Amino acid sequence: MIAGTSFVWDGAALQPDGVISALDRGVLFGDGIYETIRGYNGVLFQLEAHLDRMAQGLRVLQMPVEPTIAQVREALAQLEPLDQGQDLRLRVTVTRGVGGQPWELYQTTGPSIALQCRVLPRLCDILPKVGCSATISDVRRNETSPLSRIKSLNCLDNLLARSQAQAAGFDDVLFLNTADRVVEASTSNLFIVAGKAIFTPPVEEGLLPGITREVVMELAHVTQRPLIAEDLFQADEIFLTNSISEIVPLTHLDGNPIGTGDPGPVTASLYATYRKMTQGT
């Protein structure tokens, strides 16, 4: 796999420097889904879980699960093997393709599949050690929308809120839902540590069922329950999870330290266990 490359699957081969039609519904309406997968030392971590989630997204969008997932597998099989010793980020994008009135979901040419691969920035391995800060967004996550629970191409709320947070000096942004309950960060799920207990909001609150979230729930005893902002400020530790940056302590929220204000022991221990798992040891 060559970092910095972008391919489009033409049905038989990967076309480098891929382009897609300006009429593709991915361009016109953000009509599609994606996955971002981290590759460790030549292996795509949790690939099957990512493809399962993609299948669930296809169902929500009323796109055919098969042959779409089979086509994604064919495309992935044609990537060069990952370089050993280099961690990479792979993005798989699937759009509905070309055709139909906006609300006509079935009259298209079939999906467009694009792959992008790049070397991970070093920051990804620093963040779990130093932690990050966040602010709570004024924009609510809309838990009434099925989009809140899939990884669709409708990403603008996340982009704009995180950009605004960074301009104000924060690393990331947290979202509440329309019922004032805590949901997730711009590209991560959220967990809190309170004493010996670990809590995370359930998917019904309007959040993406993260692959790393799932792994963490296998590695530790986690209780899913609705959380409010007050729970965050009173937590001993908070950590954010996603497939690329893994497990990152959230040490400051809206200027207030969480717990001691330093990365905490429960998060560090989980991160160490997770890292071993990714290294296949």
The footprint of its own copies (CB under 8 A) covers: 6-8, 17-24, 26-31, 34, 60-62, 91, 93, 95, 102-105, 114, 116, 138-140, 142, 144-147, 152-160, 162-163, 166, 178, 186-187
Residue 19 or 130 with smaller CB distance to its own copies: 19
Distances from the Cα of 213 to the Cα of 16, 200, 217, angstroms: 33, 9, 6
Pairing between β-strand 246-253 and β-strand 256-257 as defined by DSSP bridges: antiparallel
Q: CA nearest 148: which of 183, 174, 179?
A: 183
Residue 150 or 198 with smaller CB distance to its own copies: 150
| Helix residue ranges per DSSP H, 79-146 | 123-130
What's the min distance (Å) between Cβ of 198 and its own copies?
A: 27
Q: What sign results for the dihedral spanned by CA atoms 8, 13, 14, 17?
A: negative
Residue 148 or 241 with smaller CB distance to its own copies: 148
What's the min distance (Å) between Cβ of 152 and its own copies?
A: 6
Tokens encoding 174: 């947290």
Residue 62 or 281 with smaller CB distance to its own copies: 62
Distance CA 176, CA 228 (A): 8
What's the min distance (Å) between Cβ of 228 and its own copies?
A: 17
What's the min distance (Å) between Cβ of 137 and its own copies?
A: 9
What's the min distance (Å) between Cβ of 205 and its own copies?
A: 14
Residue 29 or 69 with smaller CB distance to its own copies: 29
What's the min distance (Å) between Cβ of 140 and its own copies?
A: 4
Q: Please tell me whether residue 272 adopts helix, strand or coil conformation.
A: helix
Q: Please tell me whether residue 138 adopts helix, strand or coil conformation.
A: coil
Q: CA nearest 203: which of 194, 215, 213, 212?
A: 213
Distance CA 99, CA 90 (A): 28
Residue 137 or 267 with smaller CB distance to its own copies: 137
What's the min distance (Å) between Cβ of 194 and its own copies?
A: 28
Residue 68 or 95 with smaller CB distance to its own copies: 95
Using an 8 Å Cβ cutoff, are 128 and 247 in contact?
yes
